[in-house]
């Protein structure tokens, strides 16, 4: 079904309130990276207008929870049906300058998973090598400001290491070291983790154990579909939001019909 038809079908489903029935006990964790109009349309960026539309859609149709609360409900075996958590990866500057004000306007919580050694630097990761000018990272003062505004900060390793490739002490330093660096800057504990790259092959099972060993309460991917109260918190799927979704109603229909 073409995107436009899915969006139309989604509008009908949501107008009738059928999405709650279709979701059942399932909740959704969405993942964003960048929000701006300069690189909008690439695989990691949504435009400011699109992000605002998604936020309004989330608020209207879901119980939007902090990710930590969704994890707590899963830990207690409570239903997360119809809930949604908003997350961001890496620590891009526009998360602070663009996304956070829109989230505050809609009174929506969000979790920002940051790569600790990117913050406050001019680092250009390989996936941004062809982006001109290269996107910038937040400063630690800005990360602290997000936390002060009530947003949650989570770990995303020290250097965005591929945890499907590194192992042993190297992996442990990336996972635990990233947490320690963030906690030292914020002066408070963090306990949520998203592994870099987010693909099924980007996290070795031994490294999933290291995430738990480092004191995190969850480990989220950046692929898959929905989650339920029976999902292992260290195997949480996320739905990445990018230009694949032409309309929030297309997203809503596809996630409501997802069986994963």
pLDDT at 3 over 80: no
126 contacts: CB under 8 Å, gap ≥ 6: none
Tell me how far apart the alpha carbons of residues 218 and 152 are, in angstroms, rounded to a whole number: 14
Which pLDDT band holds residue 244 (cuts at 50, 70, 90)?
confident
Give me the pLDDT at residue 4, please.
75
Q: 3-state class of 194 per DSSP?
A: strand
Give me the pLDDT at residue 260, please.
66
Range of the domain at 230: 3-11+25-257
Question: Could you tell me if residue 18 is inside a domain?
Answer: no
pLDDT at 14 over 90: no
Question: Could you tell me if residue 196 is inside a domain?
Answer: yes
CATH number assigned to the domain comprising residue 138: 3.20.20.370
Which residue bears the tokens 């109260």? 229
Q: What interhelical angle do 168-186 and 205-213 show, nearest 10?
A: 30
Question: Could you tell me if residue 104 is inside a domain?
Answer: yes
CA distances from 248 to 59, 147, 225 (A): 12, 27, 15
Question: Could you tell me if residue 17 is inside a domain?
Answer: no
Question: Could you tell me if residue 97 is inside a domain?
Answer: yes
Number of domains in the chain: 1
DSSP states of 35-99 as a string?
E-SSSTTSTTEE-HHHHHHHHHHHHHHSEE--HHHHHHHHHHT---TTEEEEEEEETBHHIIIII
Question: Could you tell me if residue 141 is inside a domain?
Answer: yes
- Residues in a beta bridge with 154: 113
Tell me the pLDDT of the chain averaged across its residues: 95
18-41 per-residue burial string, b: 16 or more CB within 10 A, e: under 16: ebeeebeebbbbbbbbbbbeebbe
Tell me how far apart the alpha carbons of residues 259 and 257 are, in angstroms, rounded to a whole number: 6
Tell me how far apart the alpha carbons of residues 123 and 208 are, in angstroms, rounded to a whole number: 26
pLDDT tens-digit series, residues 167-208: 999 999 999 999 999 999 999 999 999 999 999 999 999 999
Cis peptide preceding 133, ω within 30 of 0: yes
Please state the rounded mean pLDDT for residues 141-169. 98
Find the angle CA(131)-CA(58)-CA(41) to the nearest 5 degrees.
20
Question: Could you tell me if residue 19 is inside a domain?
Answer: no
For residue 243, the Cα-to-chain-centroid distance in whole angstroms is 16
Tell me how far apart the alpha carbons of residues 194 and 192 are, in angstroms, rounded to a whole number: 7
76 contacts: CB under 8 Å, gap ≥ 6: none
Question: Could you tell me if residue 113 is inside a domain?
Answer: yes
Q: What percentage of the chain carries pLDDT values higher than 70? A: 99
Tell me how far apart the alpha carbons of residues 28 and 35 are, in angstroms, rounded to a whole number: 20
Rounded to two decimals, what is the model's pTM? 0.96
């Amino acid at each position: 079904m073409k995107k436009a038809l899915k969006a139309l079908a989604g509008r009908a489903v949501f107008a009738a309130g059928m999405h709650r029935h279709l979701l059942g006990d399932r909740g959704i964790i969405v993942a964003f990276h960048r929000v701006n109009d300069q690189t909008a349309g690439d695989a990691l960026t949504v435009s400011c207008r699109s992000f605002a539309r998604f936020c309004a859609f989330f608020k209207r149709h879901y119980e939007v929870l902090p990710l930590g609360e969704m994890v707590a409900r899963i830990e207690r075996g409570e239903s997360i049906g119809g809930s949604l958590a908003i997350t961001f990866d890496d620590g891009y500057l526009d998360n602070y300058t663009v996304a956070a004000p829109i989230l505050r306007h809609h009174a929506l919580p969000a979790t920002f998973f940051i790569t600790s050694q990117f913050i406050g630097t001019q680092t250009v990761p390989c996936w941004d090598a062809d982006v001109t000018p290269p996107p910038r990272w937040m400063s630690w003062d800005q990360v602290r400001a997000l936390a002060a505004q009530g947003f949650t900060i989570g770990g995303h390793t020290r250097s965005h290491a591929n945890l499907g490739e590194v192992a042993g002490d190297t992996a442990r330093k990336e996972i635990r070291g990233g947490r320690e660096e963030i906690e030292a800057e914020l002066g408070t504990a963090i306990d949520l983790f998203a592994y870099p790259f987010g693909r099924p092959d980007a996290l070795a099972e031994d490294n999933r154990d290291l995430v738990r060993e480092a004191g995190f309460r969850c480990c989220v991917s950046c692929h898959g579909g929905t989650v339920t109260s029976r999902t292992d918190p260290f195997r949480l799927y996320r739905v990445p939001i990018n230009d694949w979704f032409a309309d929030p109603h297309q997203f809503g229909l596809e996630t409501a019909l997802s069986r994963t």
